């Protein structure tokens, strides 16, 4: 009687393991399918974009992005130049006098 | 009886552990597969992005060059303009000071001495011993009274012309034959300095 019970339970446990193996295989298989799909989609998107770029179409977004980037850079450059212009306009009196003395010294005759 | 139960419990636990291990290993393998796929998809996207950028690169460069080029050009032009304004201010101030000197108002610079030096320089440059001197209206009367003294000092014959020159100061020296003329005016000298010394002056100002 005891032996029967153990054998019966052994069968149930084997089934449990077999089911687990099926479940595990399913998880791996699903992941593999999902991975294959991800790569397939990435490849097909890439191919689509490449072909459109080759035809010169569909690049509006890229150009708009580049334009936006360039405008941002341009703003920075404009500010840098404006700062330089400010610096130039605010030359110290001392430097102005030095430059003026240099010119005057060259203009006036020497012995 | 209790031995049997213990044996059963042990079998169940082993089976459950084995099951959990199988599921856990499968989940780990699945996560690895997905992570690898994600990395591969990212690589494909990055490669594609580069390919597309190569294909449309010249268009993008044109857009960038147009926008950046415009501001660079304007910025450089603004710098040049500001630099020009500051240099002009130096020349204007110098011109004002030269006027001040020529009017005899600068105690540090004797204009009559300056005039004499300008004349000596001109006479030496032309060569010879007979010259006609022209000056501006303000210097005319001084020259009339001093031309003899100056002739003596320089050891040449100087004659004052009635022609008036429109300058801050200085002289126009002409050989008696009229074939050689030397302009030694303050205005001309200032222009000459401006032409040849601009870089040096800009450096002095710190605007180069």
Q: Where are the beta strands (DSSP E) in B26-142?
A: 130-135
The predicted structure's pLDDT at residue B1 = 55
Q: Structure tokens of B16?
A: 């459950």
Instruction: Give residue B60's pLDDT band: very low, low, confident or very high (50, 70, 90).
Output: confident
Which of B114, B115, B207 to substitute to test the interface with A, most A CBs within 10 Å? B207
Chain A residue with CA closest to B20: the answer is A20
User: What average pLDDT score do residues B47-71 get?
Assistant: 90
The predicted structure's pLDDT at residue A8 = 78
pLDDT digits (tens, 9 = 90+) for B147-166: 999 999 999 999 999 999 99
Above 0.90 for ipTM, yes or no?
no
Which among B184, B117, B111 has a CA at the least distance from the CA of B142?
A: B111
The reply to whether residue A28 touches residue B60, judged by beta carbons under 8 angstroms, is: no
pLDDT digits (tens, 9 = 90+) for B25-41: 999 999 999 999 999 99
Nearest Cβ partner for B94 among A23, A74, A103? A103
- Average pLDDT of the residues of chain A: 90
Are B137 and B167 in contact by the 8 Å Cβ rule? The answer is: no
Question: pTM of the predicted model, to two decimals?
Answer: 0.64
List CB contacts of B151: < 8 A, sequence separation 6 or more: B157, B158
Given a cut of 60, whether residue A63 has pLDDT beyond it is yes
Number of domains in chain A: 1
Residue ranges making up the domain that contains A95: 2-107
The predicted structure's pLDDT at residue A2 = 65
H or E element, residue B61: helix B2-102
Q: Structure tokens of A88?
A: 């130039």
Give the separation between CA B198 and CA B39, rounded to whole angstroms: 61
Given a cut of 80, whether residue B109 has pLDDT beyond it is yes
**What backbone phi and psi angles, to 5 degrees, belong to B129?**
-140, 10
């Amino acid at each position: 009687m005891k032996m029967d019970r153990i054998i019966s339970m052994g069968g149930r446990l084997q089934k449990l393991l077999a089911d687990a193996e099926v479940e595990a295989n399913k998880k791996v298989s699903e992941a593999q399918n999902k991975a294959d799909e991800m790569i397939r989609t990435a490849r097909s998107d890439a191919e689509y974009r490449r072909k459109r770029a080759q035809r010169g179409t569909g690049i509006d977004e890229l150009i708009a992005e580049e334009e936006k980037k360039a405008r941002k850079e341009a703003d920075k450059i404009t500010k840098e130049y404006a700062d330089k212009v400010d610096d130039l306009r605010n030359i110290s009196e001392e430097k102005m006098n030095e430059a003026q003395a240099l010119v005057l010294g060259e203009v006036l005759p020497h012995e | 009886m209790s031995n049997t139960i213990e044996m059963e419990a042990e079998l169940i636990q082993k089976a459950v552990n084995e099951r959990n291990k199988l599921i856990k290993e499968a989940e780990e393998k699945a996560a690895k597969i997905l992570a690898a796929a994600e990395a591969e998809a990212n690589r494909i996207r990055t490669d594609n992005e580069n390919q597309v950028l190569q294909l449309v690169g010249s268009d993008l460069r044109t857009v960038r060059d147009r926008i950046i080029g415009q501001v660079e050009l304007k910025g450089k032009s603004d710098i040049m303009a500001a630099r020009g304004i500051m240099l002009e201010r130096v020349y204007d101030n110098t011109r004002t000071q030269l006027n001040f000197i020529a009017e005899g108002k600068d105690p540090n610079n004797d204009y009559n001495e300056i005039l004499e030096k300008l004349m000596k320089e001109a006479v030496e440059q032309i060569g010879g011993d007979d010259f006609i001197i022209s000056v501006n209206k303000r210097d005319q009367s001084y020259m009339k009274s001093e031309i003899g003294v100056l002739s003596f000092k320089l050891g040449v014959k100087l004659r004052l012309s009635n022609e008036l020159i429109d300058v801050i100061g200085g002289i126009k020296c002409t050989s008696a034959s009229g074939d050689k003329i030397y302009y030694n005016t303050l205005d001309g000298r200032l222009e000459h300095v401006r032409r040849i010394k601009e870089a040096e002056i800009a450096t002095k100002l710190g605007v180069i």
